[in-house]
Chains A and B, each alone.
Chain A
Amino acid sequence: MMTDETRIHISSSPHIRQPRDVPAIMKDVAIALIPALAASVIFFGIRSLLITATAVAAAVLTEHLITVHLYKRETSIGDYSAAVTGALLAFNLPVSVPLWLVALGSFFAIAVVKMAFGGLGNNFVNPALAGRAFLLGSYPALTTGSAFLEGGFLGKIPASPGGLSSDAVSSASLDALSAATPLETMGTIPAGYIPEALQNLFFGAVGGCIGEVSAIALLLGGIYLVLRRVISPRIPLTFIGTVFLFNYLFPPVADIPVFSMLNLQYATYQILAGGLILGAVFMATDMVTSPISRKGQFIFALGCGTLTVVIRRFGGYPEGVSYSILLMNLLVPLIDRYVKPAVYGKRVAL
C-alpha cells in the first residue's frame, strides 16, 4: 500500500543527473585558492589572512542582507559564490590596504556589480575585478603598491634585483612606502640577475598584491581546478600564451635579439610577474563572465592576452590584466551571439 511518503513522483526526463551542483563548484574554487592564501601569509604575514577574512565576510554579509531584505528571498550565500568573490578581491589588493577599504571593495563588488543586476549568473563583469577597479579609481594611493610587512618572509630575503633591496627591507614598516613592483623594475635588472629574479617570481618572493605573487601556488590551484573539471586549460593557456608570444616576438626591452635566451627569459618574466597568472587562472575563467562555447572562450582569452600587452606597453598602468579581463567581459554577450558551436546536420553544405 502506498502512503503519502511513498507516493511516486513524475517529472520530465532525464531522471538522473550528475551529482555536482553550483556550491560544489564554488567550493572547489575556494579549495584551489588555499595554496595562494598560504603563500600570501608566508610572504606578507598574517595580515593577508585578515584582509582575506574581511573581504569574504563583507561580501557574504552584503549578499545575505540584499538577498533577504531587498530581494525578499531565501539567502543565497549557501552557493559560496560571494565568499569566492571576496577572496579573489582580497588577492588583488596589497597587504598595506586598510581593512575598511577592503570591506568597501567587497560591498561594491557584490552590491553593485552582482546584486543590482540580479545576483549570481547575472553579473556583467567579474565582480572581484570590478571591485578592485573601483578601489583603484577612488583610492589609488591606498590600493597600489607592493608593500610588505616587517617580519614577513620578504623581510628575510637578501638583496633581490626583482625590486627590493636589503636597505629597503630593514627600514620597512607597515606604513612605509612600497617598493616598485616587479613589472615596473624589469628594465633595470642586470641580465645576470634575471634567472634569480625569475625564481623569486615563480615562488613568490617579490612584492605585489597578496594573492598574485606566487606563481607556483596559483598554478597548483589551477591544476586542481582542471583535474576537478571546474575549468578547462583553454582560457589560461591561451591568455598566458598570448602574452608570452607577444612579448617574445616584440621584446619589451630594447635591442634584444628575438631568438635569444635573454628574450625567452624576459618573456617568461612578463608572464610570471604581475597578476597574469592569478587573472588567467582564476578571474578570466569565471564562468558567468566568459563565453559559453569553446571557440568563444579561445577568442576571449586571445583578446585578454592582447589587451594585457597593449595596456602594459602603451597604457598608463604597469599592469593590464584586470582591465583587459573587464573589457573582454563586456564583449562576452557579443561573442556568444556570433560564435556558436556548429550544429549537427548544418555543418556541411549539401
Chain B
Amino acid sequence: MLFRKYTFPGGIHPDDNKARTAGMKTERMPLPASVVIPMSMHIGAPASVLVKKGDIVAAGQVIGEAGGKISSSIHSSISGTVKAVGMYPHPMGGKVTAVEIERDARQEQVSLPPIFNWHETASETLIERISDAGIIGKGGASFPTAVKLSPPPADTIDTLIINAAECEPYLTTDHRLMIEFTEDLLQGIAIAKRILDVEHTYIGIEKNKLDAIRVISQAIKRNPELSFITLCELETKYPQGGEKQLITAITGREVPSGELPLKAGAVVLNSGTAKAIYDAVVTGKPLYERIVTVTGAGIQKPGNYIVPVGTRIQEILDHSKADFSKIRKIVLGGPMMGIAQPDLSAPVIKATAGILALHTLPEPVKSYTCINCGSCVQACPMGLVPSRFAKLVEADKFDELPEENIMDCIDCGCCTYSCPAKINIVHAIKLGKDRIKKQK
C-alpha cells in the first residue's frame, strides 16, 4: 500500500487559497442580537414549528420537529425570545418558514443527557440521539445523519469513510476541526463505527493538510482503541471530497449510476458531522452552531469563526470587516459549488462551511462558441461530455439530455472552470436537470 495513490480520474487543480486561514485557530464571534433559523436546512421534509411568537427559548432547545421519516429536528442556537415565525430568505434561494429569535441576557443552554457509556449502548438508542440532536450532513449535502446510519438490512455496509478532504478552495473548517478537536472527532468516528458495525473505517485527508494528517495520525497511534481507523492521504485535487470520488479513491469501487453509496457498501460522513455525533452522544449537545471560514479579498479580518446557526450573513461580514469596495460577490460555501447570495440578511445554516467575499468577477465580458477543445471532458470526474449538455440546452433539445447521462452530473463545476470559451456549462446543466425533473 506504500506506493498506492489515492485519487480519481478527471478533476482540476485550482489555487487552493487556504493559506490565509489554514493556520487560524477557531474563535467565537460575539453572539448576534438575533438569529433567523429556517425550518428546512436539510434534505427531506421541512420541520414543523413548535414555538410561537413570545415564547422564551434556550440555546439547544427544540424549536422544530422532524417533519417525516427523512427530516430533521431544529434547535435554537441562542437563548432568547421568539420574535416572529414567518417567511424569511434562505441562503439556497427563495423564502422558507423560519423562526426569528431575539437574544436575551440569560444565556441559558439546555442539552440532552450525556451518554458516556456509548460503547455499551444499543445502536438504536444512539441513532435516536443523533436524530434528536438534529444532526445532518455538515459537508454540504445536509442528509439526515440518523437515516444515513440506518441503512436498509438488504444493503450490506462494510466500509465507513470519514470525509476530511475539504477539497473546495478557501475552506479550512474541517482542517481546523481536525487540529483543534482531534479527540472529539475520533470518538465521534468510533461511535459511528459502533452503530454501523463495519469492517473497514477510513479517514480521507487531502495532502495539502499535512499538519492535520500528522495530528490525526499521532492520535490514532497513541490510542489502541482507535487502531480500527486507517488514515488515507488523498492526492490534492478537486473534487476529491465528492463522495463518489472519495469512495473510488479509497476503496476502488464505483457507486452504480443513480444509486446511493450504500450500494457500493459504503457510508460517507463529513468530519464535522462525526464531531457533531460526539457532541450529541457524549455531551448531549444538539447541532446548532458550526465553524465557518470567512475569507476572500474583500475580508479584512478573516477567520474560522464558530457561528450560531441562524446568524445573518451581514453580521458576520460586519464582524470580519468586509470592505464592500473590494467585493463583487458573496458566496456561501466554496467557490466551486457555493451559492452567490443576493440577500445578505439570509442566515448561516447547518451546512454552511464558508462565506467568501470574492473580488474578481470570473464572468468574462465575452464568451465564445464551443471550440471542441475537450477540456471539460478531461476535467469531468464523472466521465461525461459537458459541452454536449450545454449545446443541447442551448438548442432546447431537453429530451436528448437523459440518454447523454446528464443525471450523473454532480454539479462540481470542473467543466465550467476549465472551459476556455467561458461557457457557463453548469448553468445550462442545472437548467436541463430541472427541466427533466419537472417533466417526470
Which residues of A are found within 8 Å of B420, using beta-carbon distances?
18, 20-22, 24-25
Contact of A121 with B257 at beta-carbon distance under 8 Å, contacts A18-B12, A25-B373, A342-B383 already known? no
- Contact check, B254 vs A345: say whether CB atoms are below 8 A apart: yes
Which parts of A115-138 form the interface with B (CB within 8 Å)?
A: 118-122
- Determine if A14 is an interface residue (Cβ-Cβ < 8 Å): yes
Q: How far is the CA of A262 from the CA of B364 in the complex (A)?
A: 56
- Contact check, A288 vs B371: say whether CB atoms are below 8 A apart: yes
- Determine if A150 is an interface residue (Cβ-Cβ < 8 Å): no
Q: With both chains docked as a complex, state the minimum distance between the C-beta of B413 and any C-beta of chain A, in angstroms.
A: 3
Indicate the size class of the contact surface on chain B. 35 or more
Task: Decide if the interface of chain B is mainly helix, strand, loop or mixed.
Answer: loop
Q: Which residue of A lies closest to B380 (CB)?
A: A341
Chain B interface: which of A2-10, A199-207, A247-255? A2-10
Q: Which residue of B lies closest to A1 (CB)?
A: B324
- Determine if A348 is an interface residue (Cβ-Cβ < 8 Å): yes
Which parts of B126-155 form the interface with A (CB within 8 Å)?
A: none
Q: How far is the CA of A20 from the CA of B335 in the complex (A)?
A: 18
Q: How far is the CA of A20 from the CA of B341 in the complex (A)?
A: 27
Q: How far is the CA of A345 from the CA of B383 in the complex (A)?
A: 9
- Contact check, A13 vs B372: say whether CB atoms are below 8 A apart: no
Q: How far is the CA of A289 from the CA of B424 in the complex (A)?
A: 22
Contact of A119 with B383 at beta-carbon distance under 8 Å, contacts A6-B327, A8-B328, A16-B335 already known? no
- Determine if B198 is an interface residue (Cβ-Cβ < 8 Å): no
Residue in A22, A342, A347 whose beta carbon sits within 8 Å of that of B371 in the complex: A22
Which residues of B are found within 8 Å of A14, using beta-carbon distances?
335-337, 362, 413, 416-417, 426
Q: How far is the CA of A2 from the CA of B330 in the complex (A)?
A: 13
- Contact check, A12 vs B385: say whether CB atoms are below 8 A apart: no
Contact of A15 with B244 at beta-carbon distance under 8 Å, contacts A287-B371, A290-B372 already known? no
Q: How far is the CA of A266 from the CA of B248 in the complex (A)?
A: 48
- Contact check, A16 vs B336: say whether CB atoms are below 8 A apart: yes
Which residues of B are found within 8 Å of A22, using beta-carbon distances?
368, 371, 420-421
- Contact check, B341 vs A292: say whether CB atoms are below 8 A apart: no
Q: With both chains docked as a complex, state the minimum distance between the C-beta of B382 and any C-beta of chain A, in angstroms.
A: 4
Which residues of B are found within 8 Å of A345, using beta-carbon distances?
244, 254-259, 382, 408
Q: With both chains docked as a complex, state the minimum distance between the C-beta of B241 and any C-beta of chain A, in angstroms.
A: 15
Which residues of B are found within 8 Å of A185, using beta-carbon distances?
none
Residues of B in contact with A (beta carbons under 8 Å apart):
12, 14, 169, 244, 248, 254-259, 324-325, 327-331, 335-342, 356, 358, 361-364, 368-374, 377-378, 380-385, 387, 405, 408, 411, 413, 416-422, 424, 426-427, 430
Q: How far is the CA of A231 from the CA of B356 in the complex (A)?
A: 34
Q: With both chains docked as a complex, state the minimum distance between the C-beta of A336 and any C-beta of chain B, in angstroms.
A: 8
- Determine if A141 is an interface residue (Cβ-Cβ < 8 Å): no
- Contact check, B257 vs A6: say whether CB atoms are below 8 A apart: no
- Contact check, B385 vs A13: say whether CB atoms are below 8 A apart: no
- Determine if A346 is an interface residue (Cβ-Cβ < 8 Å): yes
Q: Which residue of B lies closest to A81 (CB)?
A: B371
- Contact check, A121 vs B371: say whether CB atoms are below 8 A apart: yes
- Contact check, B338 vs A347: say whether CB atoms are below 8 A apart: no
Indicate the size class of the contact surface on chain A. 35 or more
Q: Which residue of A lies closest to B17 (CB)?
A: A16
Residues of A in contact with B (beta carbons under 8 Å apart):
2, 6, 8-18, 20-22, 24-25, 79, 118-122, 287-290, 292-294, 297, 340-348, 350
- Contact check, B417 vs A120: say whether CB atoms are below 8 A apart: no
Which residues of A are found within 8 Å of B361, using beta-carbon distances?
9
Q: How far is the CA of A341 from the CA of B248 in the complex (A)?
A: 17
Q: With both chains docked as a complex, state the minimum distance between the C-beta of B400 and any C-beta of chain A, in angstroms.
A: 12
- Contact check, B256 vs A21: say whether CB atoms are below 8 A apart: no
Q: How far is the CA of A292 from the CA of B404 in the complex (A)?
A: 15
Q: How far is the CA of A14 from the CA of B364 in the complex (A)?
A: 13
- Contact check, A10 vs B385: say whether CB atoms are below 8 A apart: no
Contact of A119 with B369 at beta-carbon distance under 8 Å, contacts A14-B416, A341-B377 already known? yes
Residue in B14, B248, B255 whose beta carbon sits within 8 Å of that of A18 in the complex: B14
Residue in A24, A293, A347 whose beta carbon sits within 8 Å of that of B254 in the complex: A347
Which residues of B are found within 8 Å of A341, using beta-carbon distances?
377, 380, 383-385
Q: With both chains docked as a complex, state the minimum distance between the C-beta of A317 and any C-beta of chain B, in angstroms.
A: 28
Q: How far is the CA of A121 from the CA of B390 in the complex (A)?
A: 14
Not counting A288-B372, A347-B254, a sample of 14 additional A-B residue pairs whose C-beta atoms are within 8 angstroms of each other reads A9-B361, A11-B329, A11-B340, A13-B413, A15-B338, A21-B368, A25-B420, A119-B369, A287-B374, A288-B371, A341-B377, A341-B383, A345-B255, A345-B257
Q: How far is the CA of A24 from the CA of B12 in the complex (A)?
A: 19
Which residues of B are found within 8 Å of A16, using beta-carbon distances?
14, 169, 335-336, 358, 362, 417
Q: Which residue of A lies closest to B264 (CB)?
A: A345
Residue in A13, A79, A294, A342 whose beta carbon sits within 8 Å of that of B338 in the complex: A13
Q: How far is the CA of A119 from the CA of B369 in the complex (A)?
A: 9
Q: With both chains docked as a complex, state the minimum distance between the C-beta of A338 and any C-beta of chain B, in angstroms.
A: 12
- Contact check, B327 vs A344: say whether CB atoms are below 8 A apart: no
Which residues of A are found within 8 Å of B329, using beta-carbon distances?
8-11, 15
Which residues of A are found within 8 Å of B369, using beta-carbon distances?
118-122
Q: How far is the CA of A121 from the CA of B367 in the complex (A)?
A: 12
Q: How far is the CA of A69 from the CA of B381 in the complex (A)?
A: 43
Q: How far is the CA of A9 from the CA of B327 in the complex (A)?
A: 9
Contact of A11 with B363 at beta-carbon distance under 8 Å, contacts A21-B421, A350-B256 already known? yes
16 A-B residue pairs with Cβ-Cβ distance under 8 Å, sorted by A, are A8-B340, A9-B340, A10-B329, A11-B329, A13-B339, A14-B336, A14-B417, A22-B421, A25-B373, A292-B374, A294-B377, A297-B374, A342-B383, A343-B383, A344-B383, A345-B408
